[in-house]
């Protein structure tokens, strides 16, 4: 929880007030999702595509963020993030 608080404080610098009210489901992997994804975009990109993307869809999306958008996410975090998104925000 403390780690999450620190992460949120860090992003508050670039995030809008409204953005800080987006609370993702408190399940394993959330810290990695917040620290990696929110670096470049607000987390409503995730909730907006919930129930649209299945596991394969989230895999493709996270893969695109790394290979096309240049997100510096290592393989271990990549898997954690895909699992979290597929389990909590998957179709």
Partner 1 sequence: MIDRRHFMKKAAGSLAALGGLSLLQRAGLAAAKGSEESMILDALPGKEALIKKTYRPPNYETPVNYFDVAFTPNNRFFVRYHNAVIPEVKASEWRLRVGGDAVRTPLEFSLEQLRKDFKPVEIAALCLCSGNRRGLFQPPVPGVQWGSGAMGNARWRGVRLKDVLAKAGIDKSALEVSLDGADSGVLKTTPDFVKSLPLAKALDENTLIAFEMNGEALPHWNGFPVRLIIPGWTATYWMKHLTAVNVISKPLDNFWMKTAYRIPKDRFPSGQFSSQETETNMPITEIVVNSLITNLVDGQTLPATKLLEIKGVAWDGGNGIAQVELSTDGGISWQQAKLKQDYGRFSWRQWYQAFEPKGSGEYQIMARATSHSGVTQPLEPIPNPSGYHHNAVQKITIQLA
Chain positions contacting partner 1, by CB under 8 A? 14-16, 18-19, 21-23, 39-42, 44-45, 47-53, 57, 61, 68-72, 89
Least distance (Å) between residue 6 CB and partner 1: 19
CB of 36 to partner 1, least distance (A): 11
- What DSSP string runs through 34-85? HHHHTTTS-THHHHHTTTT--HHHHHHHHHHHHHTT-----HHHHHHHHHHH
Nearer to partner 1, 68 or 76 (CB): 68
CB of 3 to partner 1, least distance (A): 21
Nearer to partner 1 by C-beta: 17 or 76?
17
- Comparison of 61 and 79: residue with beta carbon closer to partner 1: 61
User: Which residue in 80, 86, 66, 90 sits closest to 30, CA to CA?
Assistant: 80
What distances in angstroms separate CA 63 from CA 1, 3, 85, one per listed residue?
Answer: 28, 26, 13
């Amino acid at each position: 929880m403390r780690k999450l608080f620190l992460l949120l404080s860090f992003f508050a610098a670039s995030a809008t007030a409204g953005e800080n009210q987006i609370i993702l489901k408190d399940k394993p992997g959330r810290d990695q999702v917040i620290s990696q994804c929110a670096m470049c975009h607000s987390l409503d990109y995730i909730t907006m595509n919930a129930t649209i993307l299945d596991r394969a869809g989230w895999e493709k999306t996270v893969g695109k963020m790394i290979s096309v958008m240049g997100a510096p996410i290592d393989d271990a975090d990549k898997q954690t993030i895909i699992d979290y998104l597929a389990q909590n925000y998957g179709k």
